[in-house]
Amino acid sequence: MSESLDSGPPPQAPTTALRQRLAELRGPAAQPHPLDARALAALAANPGCKRRALLDGAGVDKGALASALGSPATFGQSQFAFMRGNAFEARVKADGGRELLKLLGLERPAEVAVPELAAAGPEGRTARTALALREATAAGGWTLLDHPLLVLEVAGSAAYLEPDAVVVHPDGRWTVVEIKSFPMIDGSADAAKVGAAARQAAVYVLALERVAALTDGASVAHSVLLVCPKDFSNLPTASVVDVRKQLSVTRRQLTRLTRIEDIAAALPEDLSFDLETCSAEELTTAVESVPHAYAPECLAACELAFHCRDRAREAGSVETLGRPVRGELGGLTTVGDVLAAARGEAGDPDDPTVAALRRAAALRAESLEAAACR
């Protein structure tokens, strides 16, 4: 993208031509699959993947697409966990958010404004949210926004984001509230889950900064309030999580994304990801026409990961070994190249990578010989 994510006016909707092109790619009868903060965080973790950027921007249901390709995703939130999360969030926000406000140190919920954010369509809801944030900041009191809707431009396309809550402080600070159903035991929670929540919250902070830049006296806190069940109960407890590192990484990575219209312009005019009309072979051809950037981390974040992994393995790509290994191998891009260099059949002997591989192969051969002589 050409402009910074944390400055300038709010992002505009995609042009009519781009919207039409994305609708054609998705299929005229298919409703766009929403691009949420979890998906944006995963996209930011792999900004070089044009395949995910295009499919997410077009609103293609990647889970259904993966199933049609014969490589269904095996991750996701179970129905039980989804229901448990909704029940816990409802408890936290019951009685005007009494429990949540207590976690913020407020004992009298009546002093906190809870504006109505309902409006027609996502554009209407984002406009209503922005108005409520400006009014709350100008009022100089406590305000709780329940499920506000924010918008963030990603690779030239607008993504609508819905945090659990945003709290406006009397001094004009805006704080994101993330409510999760995983437990916080003895004051700490699973580090991987907290990290995922922090990356997701960083996306919300980025979107809020766009609104704060146009609001007098407003600022966005770079720490979020993470609310979880306490120990093994259903009672809420909270922890303040600093997301400055995640915010910096996410901002930088989203800025690196190739614009969706540039990716779409390089595709054949008749290409389609329409799940209703395209055969498995046609969908496979369409998916393979868009470059991907597979890494093992994709297995926990992208519905198409198994399909991309199979293709990367077929091509012998070293990306299947992980980004750290790929970085160490330099110009050796396939497993065949690596093995040939290690055996002395190819590669420049003056290349440090090739020299290290040959040394490793020699040490392995010595170890195997010594073991055989015992």
| pLDDT value for 15 | 61
Q: Residue 293 is which amino acid?
A: A
The separation between CA 260 and the C-alpha centre of its own chain, rounded to angstroms, equals 16
d(CA 259, CA 269): 18
| pLDDT value for 3 | 41
| pLDDT value for 109 | 67
Q: Name the token pair of 294.
A: 């597979």
Q: Name the token pair of 208.
A: 């809020």
| pLDDT value for 2 | 36
DSSP 8-state class, residue 332: -
Instruction: Encode the chain (374 residues) as per-residue pLDDT tens digits.
Output: 334 444 444 454 456 788 888 888 998 888 888 778 888 888 888 888 999 989 988 889 999 999 999 988 776 566 777 788 888 999 998 887 888 888 888 877 677 889 999 999 889 999 999 999 999 999 999 999 999 999 988 777 778 899 999 999 999 999 999 999 999 998 889 998 999 899 999 999 999 999 999 999 999 999 999 999 998 888 999 999 999 999 998 888 888 777 888 898 899 988 999 999 999 999 999 999 999 999 998 888 899 999 999 999 999 999 999 888 888 888 888 999 999 989 988 888 888 999 999 999 999 988 988 888 87
Q: Give the containing element (helix H, strand E) for 212.
A: helix 191-212
| pLDDT value for 108 | 73
- Residue 212 near residue 219, CB atoms below 8 Å: yes
Radius of gyration of the chain (CA): 24
Beta-carbon contacts of 201 under 8 Å, excluding residues fewer than 6 positions away, are 37, 163, 176, 178, 224, 226, 241, 243, 246
- Exposure pattern of 213-249 as b/e (b: 16+ CB <10 Å)? eebeebebbbbbbbbbbbeeeeebbbbebebeebbeb
Backbone angles phi and psi of 246, in degrees to 5: -65, -35
By 3-state DSSP, what share of the chain in percent is helix, strand and coil, each rounded to 5? Answer: 50, 15, 35
